Amino acid sequence: MRLKLGEVTDDTTMTIAVAEGILGNPENPIEAIGRRFVECEDWKEASLYVHKVTGGITAGNGTLMRCIPAALYYDNYEKMVEVTREQSKMTHYDDKASETCILYNTMVYKYLNREEKFKTLKESIKGYEEYERVFSMKKEELHLSGYVVDSFQCALWCSINYDSIEEIVA
C-alpha cells in the first residue's frame, strides 16, 4: 500500500479512536471507543462479518497495532489489562488476539515504569511457548503475515536483536 504524505491507514485511525475513547471516559472507555469506531465503520458488523468469513479465525494484528494507548494512559495495571482486552474483543473475537495485546501492553507498561528490557521481555512472555522460542529463532524462521502471533514474534525478535529503530529498518 502506498500512502501519500499525510495519509493514514485504518489502523492509525483506530489507534486514535482508542486513545480518544480512553481520554473521554477513562473509567469505562469501551463505549466511548466504540462510538469512535462507528465513526470509522460499523465495528460490530465488521467484526462479526470477519469472524464468519474466516471461520472464527480472527486473530489479526490490527488489534495489536492499536492497543498501546491503554498502556500509555493507565497507571493501574489491572485497569490497563481490562481495557486492553475489551478494546481488542471489540473487533477481534479470538482470545489469541487479546492475549497478545495484553502481553505487548504489559511490556510497554513495564518499560514506562523503568523495568529493564530483557528482564521485562522474558517475564512477560513466560509460559507462552510461541513467544519464548523467539529468543532462539533465526530471522529466516519468522513468518511475515497479518496473524497476531507472527507479527508479535517479529516485533519481539527485532527487540531482542536490535537496539534501535534505525537498525531494524536498515
Residues 36, 66: contact at Cβ < 8 Å? no
> Known binding site: residues?
9-11
> Between 77-89 and 95-112, two packed helices, what is the crossing angle to 10 degrees?
150
Name the nearest CA neighbour of 101 among 55, 141, 68.
68
d(CA 97, CA 30): 17
> Known binding site for Mg(2+): residues?
9-11
d(CA 104, CA 98): 10
Residues 28, 86: contact at Cβ < 8 Å? no
How many other β-carbons are positioned within 10 Å of the β-carbon of residue 155?
17
